Structure 1
């Protein structure tokens, strides 16, 4: 998506050779029009896969996942990062490290929202090392649902996450791939 690349160049900042801050685009502020265009792109890429639900991880993945679910006409399920008083005690739970947050958290999905009948499309904002993705994929596998593929808004292809998932046979579609953040410059693939 050329429009997304342009916005990344204009509104993001490089914090290190590994970290790109995109708060003005997808992680803190959300442009509804651009986000709906992202959803349309993902829906096109996975239109023939018989998706029954879109799944993501709280919180930055929710806008793009919502737009995708809307375009596909299916429900959106998201893995929670915090247990609440009303959380389902019968949930799938995985402990996952977060590259950008620099901490380990639990993600959980209520068992009532996933079944062996589901064909899931996993949408996320960014893939770096793929730790959170691996955790959600374990939950999907334990539920008996089928993972049709994964769409990511931004893949940092200089890190191993996307490559590792593809090596496992998972279809990963990125709207934008960043090859490098070296020397304070964004280099797209």
Structure 2
């Protein structure tokens, strides 16, 4: 997605050789037209997969997951990161570290919204080390649903997350792949 690469170069902020801040595009502000374009692209890539439900982790993946769900005409379910008083006591849970937040959190998905009959497409904003993604994949597998694939807006291919998921035999589609953030410069893979 050339338009996404262009916007990352214009609006992304390289914080370190490991961290790219995309607040202007994904994590704080959302451009509705760009988000819909990303959703259309994921829907195109997974159009022949029989998807019945889109799943994501709150909060930064929700906008792109929503756009994908809208285009595919299927429900969107997001895993919560915090328990509330109204939380499903029988929710599927997994404890995961957060690379960017530097903390460990629980992600929870209500059994009410996923079933063994579902064919799930997992959409996420960025994959670095892949801890949250692996946690949600475990939850989806425990639900009995079929995980058809994972769509990621930005893959940091110099970190191990995407590679470890692909090694599990899971289809992972990235809209852009970044091979380096060295010296404050974003370098994309072809």
| TM-score bin (small chain) | over 0.9
Q: How many residues align?
A: 189
Which residue matches 1:94?
A: 94
Which residue matches 1:168?
A: 168
Q: Per-residue CA shift, 1:5-32, capped at 9, x if unaligned?
A: 0000000111100000000010000000
Q: Distance in 1 between matches of 2:7 and 2:146?
A: 34
Counterpart check, 1:57 vs 2:57: yes
Q: Normalised by the size of structure 1, how large is the TM-score?
A: 0.99
RMSD between aligned residues:
0.5
Query: What are the ranges of 5 or more consecutive residues in structure 2 without an aligned counterpart?
Result: none
Once the two structures are TM-superposed, the CA of residue 67 in structure 1 deviates from its matched residue by: 0.3
Once the two structures are TM-superposed, the CA of residue 88 in structure 1 deviates from its matched residue by: 1.0
Runs of 4+ in 1 over 4 A off after TM superposition: none
Q: Per-residue CA shift, 1:133-185, capped at 9, x if unaligned?
A: 01001100110000000000000000011111111110000000000000111
Once the two structures are TM-superposed, the CA of residue 90 in structure 1 deviates from its matched residue by: 1.1
Q: Normalised by the size of structure 2, how large is the TM-score?
A: 0.99
Which residue matches 2:76?
A: 76
Q: Distance in 1 between matches of 2:5 and 2:115?
A: 36
Query: What is the SS of the residue equivalent to 2:48?
Result: helix
- Superposed counterparts of 1:34-45, under 5 Å: 34-45=34-45
Once the two structures are TM-superposed, the CA of residue 130 in structure 1 deviates from its matched residue by: 0.5
- Superposed counterparts of 1:117-128, under 5 Å: 117-128=117-128
